[in-house]
Amino acid sequence: MDYLQITKSPSLKGNVTISGAKNSALPILAATLLSQNEVHISNLPDVVDVKTLAKLLEHLGANIAWENPNTLICEAKQIIHTKAIYDIVRKMRASILVLGPLLARFGYCEVSLPGGCAIGARPVDLHIKAMEKMGANIQIKGGYIIAQAKNGLKGADILFDKITVTGSENVIMAAALAHGKTRIINAAKEPEVVQLCEILQESGVKIEGIGTNELTIEGSGGELLDFKPIRIIPDRIEAGTYLCAGAITNSSITLENIQPTHLAAITDKLEEIGFSFNKSTDSLTILPSAKLKSFEVITTEYPGFPTDMQAQFMALATQCEGASVIEERLFENRFMHVSELQRLGADIYLKGNLAKVVGPTPLIGADVMATDLRASSALIIAALVSEGVTNIHRIYHLDRGYESIEHKLRGLGVNITRLSR
Ligand code: UD1
């Protein structure tokens, strides 16, 4: 199995180009199921999750031609299956994103129920309830969501009890092809949700309220859509992760191909810690700070501080002066990285969904295990300032969402090697 070996790399410099957003690429790939034309998608991140969703689409009968590792053409007119099988869904929960489009288009589908995951129970009850509200009959049998809507889905008022990103995306895609008007109240407004709405709007679907918590979508009544070429937005979480690498080493590095407004919650927090930035329209340079102050963070929905950056900021907190407090509000079990950071010497106290991190603490390299995608990147960040050598195991998590991570880090001066044992 592959692992990453990182030797303390106390000072970084240079530029890093940020890839396309995984969490935008996934719903957009699922949305190609609503199209009648060949869809050209560029700036896709070359990561395992994207390849998994492409495989799922191929399994359903779509034709996918890769122009290069970041660009594909998808033709989904001739879909032959409507069953998203366990073997693919178990690899990636986001496969649930085919539920809305398949059901809206074919009036029938079976999607393997995604199981639990490392960061908590993560149910899909809100996705299911919304589809039922749109007229679907849903049964859970043999581990599958079996959904039926004989006369197609009907527009409805959907009120989400909790803001859900992929839940909102599933309803948005279903509503685009449904009969009549759908109103989504308490919709997610992450930039990735906004991009999905925009590409549907460009294909002719009437959508009001894009970027707000209330969306109104006029369905096409079953008629397939015509998508324009799509360029995936930059990955704000990948960008935030590199910013944390720059911050923990108190270095100046430049991020290219970013959307600074999407990073506001992250850069605001880094400013609170003491860093400053040179910003342009699509790049950002983090500048060193005289002192790293402790901070408080509460994870919440966009535009608040993202849960997907919680682990990386926890690594950073180990080098800040004083006690930082991190509250995880979205996922009940997203502190698996704590015990691994403690193996490096971090001083962290956990109580429920609160973590107190006392710093600055000298960290010492050790063997550590990645437990989920973002936890893996937190371990890399901590390894940069850990004395000696850190070996990070189970890095398949990392490959799910970070394109060319060793290459990019090496370009910034990190001493990193991928090894196998
Ligand atoms: C998406 C992101 C993930 C990010 C998360 C929160 C993708 C592919 N993944 O995941 O990176 O960490 O948003 O920003 O975009 N919930 C329910 N019932 C449901 C659905 C969700 O109770 O049917 C709960 C979840 O357990 C969680 C909260 O709602 O506590 C938010 O989860 P959600 O926004 O749905 O996360 P994902 O869309 O799975």
Query: What tens digit of pLDDT does each residue of 350-361 get?
Result: 999 999 999 999
User: What is the enclosing helix (H) or strand (E) of 179?
Assistant: none
Q: Is 216 helix (H, G, I), strand (E, B) or coil?
A: strand
Model pLDDT, residue 60: 96
> Binning pLDDT at 50, 70 and 90, where does residue 114 land?
confident
With 0-12 / 13-18 / 19 or more C-beta atoms within 10 angstroms meaning exposed / middle / buried, residue 68 is exposed
246-264 residue pLDDT tens: 999 999 999 999 999 999 9
Q: With contact defined as beta carbons under 8 Å apart, do 23 and 192 qualify? A: yes
Lowest mean pLDDT among 67-76, 121-130, 398-407: 121-130
How many whole angstroms from 122 Cα to the centroid of ligand 1?
7
Check whether 388 has a pLDDT greater than 70.
yes
Q: Active site includes 117? A: yes
> Binning pLDDT at 50, 70 and 90, where does residue 326 land?
very high
Model pLDDT, residue 122: 73
Question: Which residue among 44, 49, 53, 122 is best mutated to probe the pocket of ligand 1, counting the most ligand atoms within 8 A of its Cβ?
Answer: 122
How many whole angstroms from 94 Cα to the centroid of ligand 1?
9
Model pLDDT, residue 119: 58
Mean local confidence (pLDDT), 93-117: 91
How many whole angstroms from 240 Cα to the centroid of ligand 1?
19
75-94 residue pLDDT tens: 999 898 999 999 999 889 99
Closest approach atom of ligand 1 to CA 120: 26
CA 91 to centroid of chain Cα atoms: 15
The single residue of 117, 197, 244, 320 carrying the catalytic annotation is 117
Question: Which residue among 53, 93, 128, 166 is best mutated to probe the pocket of ligand 1, counting the most ligand atoms within 8 A of its Cβ?
Answer: 166
Model pLDDT, residue 45: 98
Model pLDDT, residue 117: 59
Contacts made by residues 111-116, CB under 8 angstroms, sequence distance 24+: 111/83, 111/84, 111/144, 111/145, 111/147, 112/84, 112/85, 112/86, 112/88, 112/143, 112/144, 112/145, 113/89, 113/140, 113/143, 113/144, 113/145, 114/89, 114/90, 115/90
User: What is the enclosing helix (H) or strand (E) of 103?
Assistant: helix 99-106
Mean local confidence (pLDDT), 394-411: 94
For residue 94, the tally of other CB atoms under 10 A from its CB is 25
Q: Which residues contact 123 (CB under 8 A, 6 or more apart)?
A: none
Model pLDDT, residue 332: 79
Pocket of ligand 1 (CB under 6 A): 23, 26, 94, 120, 122-127, 162, 164-167, 192, 307-308, 330-331
> Binning pLDDT at 50, 70 and 90, where does residue 333 land?
confident
- Tokens 């996705």 belong to 127
Mean local confidence (pLDDT), 338-342: 96
22-53 residue pLDDT tens: 999 999 999 999 999 999 999 999 999 999 99
**Which amino acid, 147?**
A
Closest approach atom of ligand 1 to CA 331: 30
Closest approach atom of ligand 1 to CA 306: 14
Q: Output the residue whose Cα is nearest ligand 1's atom 21.
A: 164
pLDDT > 70: percent of the chain: 98
How many whole angstroms from 298 Cα to the centroid of ligand 1?
16
Mean local confidence (pLDDT), 404-414: 97
Cis ω on the peptide bond leading into residue 360 (within 30° of 0)? Answer: yes
Closest approach atom of ligand 1 to CA 192: 15
How many whole angstroms from 164 Cα to the centroid of ligand 1?
5
Check whether 118 has a pLDDT greater than 80.
no
Question: Which residue among 162, 238, 336 is best mutated to probe the pocket of ligand 1, counting the most ligand atoms within 8 A of its Cβ?
Answer: 162
Check whether 115 has a pLDDT greater than 80.
no
211-238 residue pLDDT tens: 999 999 999 999 999 999 999 999 999 9
Q: Output the residue whose Cα is nearest ligand 1's atom 13.
A: 165
Check whether 116 has a pLDDT greater than 60.
no
117 against 272, higher pLDDT: 272
- Please give the mean pLDDT across all residues of the chain: 95
Mean local confidence (pLDDT), 397-405: 94
